[in-house]
Copies of this chain bind each other. A is one copy, B any other.
Amino acid sequence: MPLSRTPASKATNAGLKEQLDRLFNPRSVALIGASNKLGKWGFNTFSLLLSDKTRAVYPVNKNEAEVLGQKAYKTVLEVPQLVDMAIITVPFKDIPQAMADSIQKGIRAAIVISGGLAETGEEGAQVEQQVLDIARRAGIRFVGPNCMGLFDTSSGFNTVIFLPQVKRGHLALISQSGNSGQSIISLGTEAGLGFSKYVSSGNEADLHFEDFLAYVAEDEETKVILGYIEGLREGRRFFELAREITRRKPVVVVKAGRTSEGAGAARSHTAALAGSEVVGDAALKQAGVIRVDEIGELIDVAQLLLGQPLPRGRRVGVLTIGGGMAVMAADALANQRMELAPLSSTTIEKLDSLLSRRWSHGNPVDIGGDRFNYDCIRPLVEDAGVDAVLVIGPPPATRRFIEWFRVYAPWITNIDELRKLGEDRDLVELDKVKEMIVKFGKPVVFSSVGLNVTRQGEVYGKLEENYLVPYPTPERAAKALAHLARYSEYLNSRE
Contact = CB atoms under 8 A, between A and B. Distances in A.
A278 to B, nearest CB: 14
Contact of A261 (B260, B340, B401): B340
Interface stretch (A7-15, A24-32, A321-329): A321-329
B115 A368 contact: yes
A260 B321 contact: no
B333 A261 contact: yes
A314 to B, nearest CB: 12
A324 B180 contact: yes
A328 B268 contact: no
Nearest to A48: B408
A404 interface: yes
B177 A322 contact: yes
A296 to B, nearest CB: 6
Contact of A177 (B176, B180, B190, B327): B327
A213 to B, nearest CB: 18
B450 A334 contact: no
Nearest to A271: B323
A138 interface: no
Given A178-B322, A330-B264, A331-B261, A369 B115 contact: yes
A48 B411 CA distance: 12
Contacts of A330: 257, 259, 261-262, 264-265
A68 interface: yes
Contact of A265 (B39, B262, B327): B327
B269 A323 contact: yes
A409 interface: yes
Contacts of A364: 265
Nearest to A368: B115
Nearest to A418: B38
A358 interface: yes
B179 A68 contact: no
Interface of A: 38-39, 41, 43-44, 47-48, 51, 68-69, 115-116, 119-120, 146, 161-163, 175-184, 186-187, 190, 228, 230, 256-262, 264-266, 268-270, 293-296, 321-331, 333-335, 340, 356-358, 360-362, 364, 366, 368-369, 371, 393, 400-401, 404-405, 407-409, 411-412, 418, 448-452, 472-473, 475
